[in-house]
Amino acid sequence: MSRAALAMIHLGALRRNLARVRELAQGAKVMAVVKADGYGHGLERVARALRDADAFGVAAIGDGLRLRAAGITNRIVVLSGPDEPADLAELRRLDLDAVIHHQSQVDWLAADRGTRPLRLWLKIDTGMHRLGFAPERVAEVHARLRALAGVDPDIVLMTHFAASDEFDRDLTTQQIARFDAVTADLPGAHALANSAGLLGWPRARGQWVRAGGLLYGLSVVAGKTGSDLGFEPAMTLSTKLISVNCIKRGEHVGYAATWQCPEDMPVGVAAIGYGDGYPRSAPSGTPVMVNGVRAAIVGRVSMDLIAIDLRAAPDAKVGDRVVLWGRELPVEEVAMHAATISYDLTCGMTKRVLFVEDDSE
């Protein structure tokens, strides 16, 4: 029998979140970013739910292979492009787009003898300083790529924002201005906005937007939940109580005896831990929901178990449901307690967790 840890994936929420992204995009095409196994929600199931997207963004060719094997026919963009010359043939075989961000990739394309033109996205470094060509090189690289027989001349021009979630910061304004200046005389669609860019920077919509976290109902703005921004959580992580005991005042709970009972009190033990992907860094006081009532974990998170202060739910018993995050409890709140971000939590689920699809509307 499987463990009690269960991740319910709400397919209807994914679809409604995509519809909300389209509203915000105001006519721009939408790339649904499904890297990191669909932000931990399951690559294939997410792609099937989001078939109405204009394209999917993946981190590696292997993800494109998985999507094609699952029958996904949408345009698929490999966001870091080829890693070696042999990848060009695989990109063609799978009909994948490639982001080109480095001179080595341009050289591979120039030496390539493939006859089927590859669709390319040219990445411009406007201030992120991670991947992309410096602005002064863009016109030259763009012209060289368009002249190659193995390249589709309809190249998308793109960049990536470093701080688009900070709506009052000048850096994004500067990045947009740099992008506009370098692309003013170049043909091709523009792709600037990620999820936060879509929310806070209307000038950055261009002809393509790249939505990631918002599709999963995850916040992309500090201090806000996905629900605050008008999106629905697509994952509910839950488990069950496997033990309820009354622990005496002054007794300690868990490894290293880091938490002490302030009074005689019921303490529950739930079947989830860092072996399932629940964050070990979550401290005492991190919220959970027990039968719809807010409670909190106490003591250290262990590999397989967490302990829960049940004083707020004194009638809780073995077998009762415990929600770690989801519709009842924002994952962003749990992430804040664990000193991380919501993406880290949803992406961290392990193979021990049972994934179940909820296709109700």
**pLDDT at site 114:** 86
Q: Sorting pLDDT into bands at 50, 70 and 90, what band is 361?
A: confident
As a whole number, the mean pLDDT across the chain is 96
**CB-based contact 43:67 (threshold 8 Å):** yes
Among 220, 250, 215, which Cα is nearest to 41's?
A: 215
**Once rounded to an integer, what is the mean pLDDT over residues 288-294?**
97
What is the spatial distance between Cα 139 and Cα 223, in angstroms, rounded to a whole number? 40
What is the spatial distance between Cα 250 and Cα 191, in angstroms, rounded to a whole number? 59
Q: State both tokens at 216.
A: 């999963």
**Once rounded to an integer, what is the mean pLDDT over residues 248-271?**
97
Q: Looking at the chain, how many residues does it have? A: 361
**Once rounded to an integer, what is the mean pLDDT over residues 36-56?**
98
Is 255 catalytic? The answer is yes
Q: State both tokens at 3.
A: 């463990």
**Once rounded to an integer, what is the mean pLDDT over residues 104-114?**
95
| Tens digits of residue pLDDT in 172-223 | 999 999 999 999 999 999 999 999 999 999 999 999 999 999 999 999 999 9
What is the spatial distance between Cα 325 and Cα 193, in angstroms, rounded to a whole number? 28
**Once rounded to an integer, what is the mean pLDDT over residues 166-170?**
91
Q: Sorting pLDDT into bands at 50, 70 and 90, what band is 354?
A: very high
**Once rounded to an integer, what is the mean pLDDT over residues 80-100?**
97
Superfamily of domain 11-218: Alanine racemase (3.20.20.10)
Is pLDDT of 336 > 90? yes
Neighbouring C-alpha atoms within 13 Å toward the C-beta of 299: 22
Pairing relation of β-strands 55-58 and 75-78?
Answer: parallel
**pLDDT at site 229:** 95
SS3 95: coil
Ranking 53-62, 111-120, 301-310 by mean pLDDT, the lowest is 111-120
Full-prediction pTM beyond 0.75? Answer: yes
CB-based burial of residue 286 (10 Å sphere; 0-12 exposed, 13-18 middle, 19+ buried)? buried
**Once rounded to an integer, what is the mean pLDDT over residues 97-112?**
97
Q: State both tokens at 227.
A: 């629900």
**CB-based contact 292:313 (threshold 8 Å):** no
**pLDDT at site 360:** 83
CATH ID of 235-358, from 2.60.110.10, 2.30.110.10, 2.40.37.10, 3.40.50.300: 2.40.37.10
**pLDDT at site 338:** 98
Report H helices in the chain.
11-25, 35-39, 43-49, 61-69, 87-93, 103-111, 135-146, 170-183, 195-200, 331-337, 342-347
SS3 87: helix
What is the spatial distance between Cα 201 and Cα 206, in angstroms, rounded to a whole number? 11
Domain ranges of the chain: 11-218, 235-358
Is pLDDT of 294 > 80? yes
Active-site residue, from 216, 224, 255, 317? 255
Is 35 catalytic? The answer is yes
**pLDDT at site 2:** 60
Active-site residue, from 29, 35, 224, 278? 35
